[in-house]
Structure formats: C-alpha cells, structure tokens
Amino acid sequence: MLGLMSMGSNPVFPNISNYYNLSIISNLINTHKLQKSLTFKILYSQKNLNIVKIFKNINLIYKYSLIQKNNINYILINLNFFNTKKIGTNLKIISKPSKKVYISYTALRLLAKRTGRSIFLISTVNGIITHHEALKYKLSGIVIGFVTL
C-alpha cells in the first residue's frame, strides 16, 4: 500500500471542509440581505461559529448570539442595515474543493497594496484569517474568498 496522504491530514495545508460551511453561510448572508431580513439563524457548530466570528470582525454582520431551542443550538445572526439599506455588499468565494487558489506571502503583500477596501479570507495552518492577519504573521495559504465593503 502506498503512503498517500489526503489534503486534510497534511499538516502543511488546512482541511478543505471549511469551504462548504463558508459558502453556505455566505449565501445565506447575501440572500437575507437582498430580502432585507434583519436576522436569521443557522445550526451551531464550532466551524460555523469561527466563520461567523470572522464575519463579525470584518463588519459583514452586526452581531451574533448563541441560542437554544428545543435542545438544539443555533447561532442567531443580525445583519448590518442602515435605514433599510444593506452594509457590506459582497462576499465572493474564490477557491472551491475542486479548484484551490494558493497565494504566497510576497504575492499577498502585492495584492494587499492593489486592492482598496477588499478583505481577503485566507485559509492557513492557523485556520481561516483575514489577509491583514496573514500579513502580520507572514503566512501564506489558500485564498477562500473576498469581501468588498
């Protein structure tokens, strides 16, 4: 038997299963913003909570809280609105499980200079972080997506 290693068990690259959670949550956020719905809830998991914390840090969502209903845990998400106008316009997914876009630290520095108010989400060995944090810690990784504010 060959000593093959999957991407998730490789210590250099992160687990790819975060993309599904990120794309589902981003689609829910974009859909509810179009519907001008102020709140919605998603099932609680540690991955979902980490993604929601990142969205809160970059002001894509207003706030979140943990609730329990019928012995099921949920994350209640409140969106940013000002006079019924949405704030934090787009979240685009770049990498998918079938196509991963890697970026080095030097390329990330160049990209950060050329993009104005966009925030890139980078999957690193430390988890999913923004490109500002990746530059601070001098990390490279997989570009998951970006948010245009």
Q: Is residue 5 part of a domain?
A: no
The residue among 108 and 115 whose pLDDT is bigger is: 108
Q: Is residue 31 part of a domain?
A: yes
**Number of folded domains that form the chain:** 1
Q: Is residue 12 part of a domain?
A: no
> Rounded mean pLDDT of 58-68?
88
The residue among 124 and 30 whose pLDDT is bigger is: 124
The two three-digit tokens of residue 29, written as one number? 């956020």
Cα separation, 145 vs 130, whole angstroms = 10
Q: Which pTM value belongs to this model? A: 0.71
The CATH number assigned to the domain holding 131 equals 3.30.1490.10
Instruction: For residue 4, give Cα distances in angstroms to 14, 16, 118.
Output: 16, 17, 38
Q: Is residue 13 part of a domain?
A: no
**Helix boundaries (H) for 1-149:** 18-34, 46-57, 105-114, 131-137
Looking at residue 91, its pLDDT comes to 77
Domain range for 138 is 18-148
Q: pLDDT tens digits, residue range 42-61?
A: 889 888 898 889 888 887 78
DSSP 8-state code for residue 101: -
Q: Is residue 11 part of a domain?
A: no
Q: How confident is the model at residue 114 (pLDDT cuts 50, 70, 90)?
A: confident
Q: Is residue 106 part of a domain?
A: yes
Q: Is residue 7 part of a domain?
A: no
Q: Is residue 9 part of a domain?
A: no
Q: pLDDT tens digits, residue range 81-95?
A: 655 555 555 778 888
Cα separation, 144 vs 94, whole angstroms = 5
